Structures are given as C-alpha cells and as structure tokens.
Chains A and B, each alone.
Chain A
Amino acid sequence: MSHLPLALVGLLCIAMVIAAVVAIRGRSLPIAILAAGLVSLVASVLFLVLASPDVAMTEAAIGSGLTTFLFFFVLGRVRGGQDDGQPDGGQS
C-alpha cells in the first residue's frame, strides 16, 4: 500500500472513532442516530479505499441506509411516550 491510501485510511479511522463517540455521548437522539449512520458511511468509504466495493455497497445500503432509516422510524414511534432523553442520572 502506498503512502497516500495509508494516510487516507488513518484519517477515515479517526473520523469513524469521532463519529462513534458522538453517537454514544451525544445528548440529542437524532444526532446520535445520524452519527451512528456516519460511522457506517465512513466505514463503507474505507472499504472502497481498501478495494472491496462489494462490501462497501453492503455497508452503505444496510449499515448507513436501512439501519438509520429504521432508527428514525422507531424514534417516531416512541416519541410522546416516556422521555428517554434525560441526562444520565446514575441508575441504569
């Protein structure tokens, strides 16, 4: 592997970690869902850079497309029920 893809791979990995941290620690649920989708999107770009376009397609279609849509769909269903977005109080 030449140096340019190596730098690109490193950059993508850092972006994935940042998006994952945002998805876990983020206060707002929609932003957390989008960040989780972003992890998959960056992962699919990473697969593309690593020359496996088929895996990249799967990751983009299922990980970042279908799952993100599904989370938003479920979020729309549970809205108005119990408020789950409160800051971590220690229990759980």
Chain B
Amino acid sequence: MIKRLLALLLLAAIGSVFAVLLLGYTPDAELNLTARYYAERTAADIGAANIVTAIVVTYRGLDTLGEVTVLFLSATIVGLVLAQGSGPGRSPSVRTPVGELLGTGARVLAPLILLLGVYVFVNGHLTPGGGFQGGAIVASGMLLLLLADPLRQFSHGLISTIESVAGIAYVAIGVLGLVLAGGFLDNRILPLGTLGELASAGAIPLIYSLIGLKVGAEFSSMLASLSETEEL
C-alpha cells in the first residue's frame, strides 16, 4: 500500500515538474542565433533542401559518425553475446508453419518495405528522413521476412561485408572532404547541383545512402543473430 502511495507521489511530483515547464513555455518569436545561421545558410552552403539532414550529415557530421559507431558497437556486442549460446550446427527444430496470411503478405510487402527504406535514405537531403530511418525500415523488412519464415538464414558474410564497406567508405568520404574541401565530412567534394534535385547537395546522398546501408545491415545482423540463437 505504502509502495503504491509512494509511486503516486512520485508521479504527481514528475507531473507537476512537467506542468510548470509547460505553463511557463512561450514559443520564441524568432529563431535564435544558431538556428538562424542554419536556416539562412544551408541552401547556399550545403545545397540540401532538408535543413535537418544538412545539420546531421554535414554541420554535425562528426556526431553522426559517433552515433554510427555506437550502433556498430552495440550490434557487435549483441552478436558476440548471442554467439556464445549457439553452436554452428543449429538444430532444425520443428516449428509450426506460419499462417497463409503472414506468408503471402510478407512476400508481397517485404520488397515494397525494402524499396521504401531505400527511397527514404536516398532522398534524405530532399524529404524528411534519412539514413537512420531508412536503415530501420530496411531492417523491419528483413524482420518481416524472418517472421514469415523463422528458419530462413541470412548470409552473415554478406551482411558484414555490406556493413564494413559502407563504414569504410563513409570514413573515406569524410577524409576526402578534409583533403578536397573545407573539412572532415564536408559535402562539397561533389558539385552542389540544383537545390531540390536528387543529384544535388554534393556528397550528402552518397553519405546518407552509406549510413542507411550500414544501419540496415547492423539492425539486420542483430535480428539474424537473435533468430539463430538456440531456444533456452
């Protein structure tokens, strides 16, 4: 009883903190200094129609490299931990076959989901979304395939090759920016092109496609090793 009362008190305290924050909130009448810089300079400097992408990939590209590294580390550790439990020869345990609806639906939907994921990360500089979102969509398409056929084996070699090549190419483009343009991960190593076209914004479509492939491969490898562990 006293536990419940404490939980309620804690909830009320957190709620009142948020209420104070919400009641004291007044929207800014104009953009602050940093935001105004990004809003005014992005189109001319970076050539990306999506300002968020310009910030994530170019202005703050190093942070994105860090994020990708964190994701890579967690995927590696998940693979390492799960590989402890599973032997190489996985027993083909008898499973109940999946339903007709899921099996057929997955065959229809999985290519479309993969296509949407690729669309999202290729168009990252034009429309909302980008490498991380597109990669997650690609991985959920892979997961749908796994859901429809639990015994399906993805090629770990292919997944890790895609991931390594994408990662190395990402860093190489970053270093190329250091040599050819203004700094690490500068997108101006390629012509900026016309604002709003697919082949514009310099190296951003390339970088975001690589990030999308890398994120998709990382999530897929996590899911594949999850599916291949022995049942406990």
Residues of A near any B CB (own CB < 8 A): 1, 53-54, 56-58, 61-62, 65-66, 69-70, 72-74, 76-77, 81
Contact = CB atoms under 8 A, between A and B. Distances in A.
A69 B140 contact: yes
Contacts of B167: none
Given A57-B129, A61-B133, A70-B223, A76 B150 contact: yes
A47 to B, nearest CB: 10
A19 to B, nearest CB: 18
Chain B interface, DSSP helix/strand/loop, else mixed: helix
A53 B128 contact: yes
Contact of A1 (B27, B134, B223): B27
A54 B130 contact: yes
Given A74-B226, A77-B227, 10 more contacts: A53-B129, A54-B53, A54-B129, A54-B133, A58-B136, A61-B136, A61-B140, A65-B140, A73-B223, A73-B226
Contacts, number: 55
B143 A58 contact: no
A74 B229 CA distance: 12
Which among A61, A66, A69, A76 has the greatest number of chain B C-beta atoms within 10 A? Answer: A61
A38 to B, nearest CB: 16
Interface in B211-232: 219, 223, 226-227, 231
Interface of B: 27, 50, 52-53, 120, 128-130, 132-134, 136-137, 139-140, 143-144, 146-147, 150, 219, 223, 226-227, 231
Contact of B136 (A62, A72, A77): A62
B208 to A, nearest CB: 12
Can you list the 8 inter-chain pairs with the closest CB atoms, starting with the nearest?
Answer: A53-B128, A61-B136, A57-B129, A57-B133, A69-B143, A65-B140, A54-B52, A66-B140
A65 B150 CA distance: 18
A14 to B, nearest CB: 15
Nearest to B144: A69
Nearest to A65: B140
Nearest to B52: A54
Nearest to B232: A81
Contacts of B223: 70, 73
Nearest to A74: B226
B18 to A, nearest CB: 12
Nearest to A70: B143
Nearest to A67: B140
Contacts of B133: 54, 57-58, 61-62
B136 A76 contact: no
B167 to A, nearest CB: 20
